Structure 1
Amino acid sequence: MQQSNLLFGKEQLAEETWTALRDCTPVMLGVVPFGITCGIMGLTAKMSGVETISMSVFVFAGASQFIGITMLGAGITGSGMIILTTLLVNMRHLIMGSSLSPYMIELPFPLQAILSFFLTDEAYALTISRIHKAKYSVLYQLTVSTMLYLVWILATAAGVVLGSYISDPLTWGLDFAMPATFLVLLIPLLANRISLIVFGAAAVVSVLAALNLPGKWYIIIACLTASLIGGLLEGDSKHAQ
């Protein structure tokens, strides 16, 4: 297991920061329309601009925010129901956190807490891709996560400001930017038989689950299935060696 080094020289600091900014720029562009939509949805649900932006500042969870805003707009004000629903949606974070735990476990607890709050699908994908290409870098993860956080807040604020002019920015087809970005990050990692099998299994299971199960359960089921198959195949491969 590769541990991160918290001590960076000036050259390494500049290199890691630049690499993080370069890698996350396309992802940030894909985040913008979703942030704008979040701002518009908040106003539609009778939330104030301050409340909508504050949700992005203190919650910072796109899917959970959309669901929470939708529930508020539907007249569901019970905090317990909203919290339970958003927790179910975000169960995939348990898997992402477990995947990164070997690299983050030696970090100071305050830094672990900050990175955990900043953990999103996009930040995770970029960080894992970086680990496979080079090694784990806490500076890389922190830079990527911070930039995505700031862009999400600014995009939400833009949605609040533009709410009276744009009814739904996702009708422009910009929502395809995010899955396209994830595919770009994923394809270079499919370098061997095991990764291809895991990818295929996850794809099939997620589509079948999405067609037959409500909500976001397909994400959790696909993640668990892929993890199980990947673990079994990796174990067999090590025994064979």
Structure 2
Amino acid sequence: MKSVTVLSSRQQKTGMLLRGARDTLPMLVGAAPFGMIFGALVATSPMLPWHGQLMSLTVYAGSSQFIAAGLVASHTGMLVIWLTTLIVNLRHMLYAATLLPHVAHLSSRWRWLLGFLLTDETFAVVAGYHQRVLSADEQRYAHWYFLGSGLAMYGNWQVWTLVGLLFGTLFPQLQNMGLDYAMVATFLAIVVPQLSRIPQLAAALAAGSFAYLLQGMPYKLGLMAAVLIGVLTGMALSKRGAQDGQKGGAA
């Protein structure tokens, strides 16, 4: 009986792992051109090809990699590169804070691994997963779903970075062909269906408006400010809605 239970547990973990990867497939399509453009950018820059692949393997942050590659090519100091990429990646703290209640019970090893694999795309998939009504088993093995999504995105990014590195010199203007719009279209397809409630809609409108108004700020500070404003707007309206619901229940 014990062996049967262990086998069932393994099957559930494997199933959740594959389910996370499967649900991330639309994001893989959107990220593919982005990874290929990064590889092509490195291939046509003073950087060596293996620098680009190593960056994808260890940094694994698309926006920061693009910025870092540009700064390296312009011979910018390492401290400036570190600080700039840090500012760009601060949004991941918001992602981590959102998902923390779902991973707080895990060991440090698990949290470090999932933290490394956390990207915009994986966050969108995993956050959407936790918004559904989950069974006890789905909640118990949710971190395997997270892992499946993260590993799918990680492998996808490595493959398309390599493709860009190998063939980027043949298409030196690849980054100007509009392929990056595939990422935008993918995010729109995921975000728009989630705007059915007032807090989410208000947060999106606030973040979008301030991102446009503050786009002239250096080091992507305007984008970070817009994200914070959007988050605070959504939190304020969600809290107000919860308070109104409690008052209505008490009445």
Give the TM-score taking structure 2 as reference length: 0.86
Return the offset for 1:12: 3.0
Q: In structure 1, what is the Cα distance between the partners aligned to 2:229 and 2:34?
A: 28
Corresponding residue for residue 217 of structure 1: 221
1:96 aligns to 2:101 (yes or no): no
Q: In structure 1, what is the Cα distance between the partners aligned to 2:237 and 2:159?
A: 43
Aligned counterpart for 2:239 among listed residues 226, 235, 240:
235
Is the 2:53–2:158 contact (alpha carbons within 8 Å) kept by the matching residues of 1? yes
1:60 aligns to 2:60 (yes or no): yes
Instruction: Name the Cα RMSD after superposition.
Output: 1.9
Is the 1:37–1:168 contact (alpha carbons within 8 Å) kept by the matching residues of 2? no
Give CA-to-partner distance per residue, 1:100-138, whole Å, 9 cap, x none. Answer: 111111111011001111111111111111111244511
Give CA-to-partner distance per residue, 1:29-84, whole Å, 9 cap, x none. Answer: 111111111112212221212121111111111111111110111122x3212111
Corresponding residue for residue 186 of structure 1: 191
Corresponding residue for residue 4 of structure 1: none
Q: In structure 2, what is the Cα distance between the partners aligned to 1:142 and 1:183?
A: 24
Q: 5+ unaligned residues in a row in structure 1: which ranges? A: 1-6
1:198 aligns to 2:203 (yes or no): yes
Corresponding residue for residue 207 of structure 1: 212
1:145 aligns to 2:157 (yes or no): no
| Equivalent runs, 1:1-241 vs 2, <5 Å | 9-76=9-76, 78-135=77-134, 137-210=142-215, 212-240=216-244, 241=246
Is the 2:44–2:169 contact (alpha carbons within 8 Å) kept by the matching residues of 1? no
Is the 1:123–1:141 contact (alpha carbons within 8 Å) kept by the matching residues of 2? yes
Aligned length in residues: 233
Return the offset for 1:97: 1.0
Return the offset for 1:194: 2.1
Is the 1:92–1:219 contact (alpha carbons within 8 Å) kept by the matching residues of 2? no
Q: In structure 2, what is the Cα distance between the partners aligned to 1:81 and 1:214?
A: 13
SS in 1 for 2:201: helix
Return the offset for 1:165: 0.8
Q: 5+ unaligned residues in a row in structure 2: which ranges? A: 1-6, 247-251
SS in 1 for 2:114: helix
Q: In structure 2, what is the Cα distance between the partners aligned to 1:19 and 1:125?
A: 15
SS in 2 for 1:145: helix
Return the offset for 1:14: 4.7
- Aligned AA (1:237): G
Q: In structure 1, what is the Cα distance between the partners aligned to 2:171 and 2:205?
A: 38
Give the TM-score taking structure 1 as reference length: 0.89
Of 11-20 and 84-93, more deviation after overlay is shown by 11-20
SS in 2 for 1:164: helix
Q: In structure 2, what is the Cα distance between the partners aligned to 1:129 and 1:8?
A: 26
Change (3 A) 1:161 1:60: same
